[in-house]
């Protein structure tokens, strides 16, 4: 089979468009967040252990508008709405870890491929927290 150079160009264009759309979504999410008002925003950020400047920096990371923590929990078999999960995630600043995670692109690609659960132990900064939560579920 001969390779078609047009396919490579098309793929590159798709990647650029995906990055552009992602940046637009992140900008919109950041705008919407700060539109809630500075006091409310500071309170919410304080609750997850982030400063406003850390939050703004994190909004430049890939897929900044995506909630990977909830998706990751569901993927590995943790109920994200369970009271103990919410309490543990809050105490361990799991949202902060996710929002500032340097592996968001890799995380996204595994989510899209539906194989996050078989790869996250190689790169996810929240992996030990997920293990503890999974262990708690077995203990109960
Ligand atoms: S890899 Fe990063 S973004 Fe993905 S679930 Fe883990 S901490 Fe969150």
Place of tokens 């939560």: 133
Instruction: Give me the pLDDT at residue 71, please.
Output: 97
CB 98 less than 6 A from any atom of ligand 1: yes
Nearest CA to ligand 1 atom 8: 98
* 52 contacts 42 by C-beta, under 8 angstroms: yes
Q: 58, 74, 104, 108: which to mutate for ligand 1, most atoms within 8 A of CB?
A: 104
Cα 40 to middle of ligand 1, angstroms: 25
Say whether pLDDT at 2 is over 60: no
For the chain, report the end-to-end CA distance as a whole number of angstroms: 56
- % of the chain beyond a pLDDT of 70: 95
Cα 70 to middle of ligand 1, angstroms: 10
CB 68 less than 6 A from any atom of ligand 1: yes
Among residues 52, 57, 31, 49, the alpha carbon closest in space to that of 41 is found at 52
CB 97 less than 6 A from any atom of ligand 1: yes
Among residues 135, 128, 125, 124, the alpha carbon closest in space to that of 77 is found at 135
pLDDT digits (tens, 9 = 90+) for 9-27: 878 888 888 888 999 999 9
Instruction: Give me the pLDDT at residue 112, please.
Output: 95
> How far is the C-alpha of 84 from the C-alpha of 18, rounded, in Å?
36
> How far is the C-alpha of 49 from the C-alpha of 40, rounded, in Å?
14
For residue 129, what are the CA distances in angstroms to 45, 89, 113, 126?
20, 8, 23, 5
pLDDT digits (tens, 9 = 90+) for 39-69: 999 999 999 999 999 999 999 999 999 999 9
Maximum C-alpha span of the chain: 61
């Amino acid at each position: 089979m001969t390779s078609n150079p047009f396919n490579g160009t098309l793929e590159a264009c798709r990647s650029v468009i995906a990055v552009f759309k992602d940046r637009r979504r992140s900008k919109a999410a950041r705008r919407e967040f700060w539109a809630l008002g500075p006091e409310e925003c500071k309170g919410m950020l304080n609750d997850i252990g982030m400063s406003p400047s850390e939050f703004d920096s994190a909004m430049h990371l890939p897929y900044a508008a995506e909630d990977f923590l909830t998706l990751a929990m569901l993927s590995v078999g943790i109920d994200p709405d369970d009271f103990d999960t919410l309490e543990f995630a809050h105490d361990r600043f799991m949202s902060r870890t996710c929002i500032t995670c340097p592996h968001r692109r890799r995380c996204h690609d595994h989510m899209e491929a539906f194989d996050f659960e078989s790869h996250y132990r190689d790169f996810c900064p929240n992996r030990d927290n997920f293990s503890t939560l999974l262990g708690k579920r077995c203990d109960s």
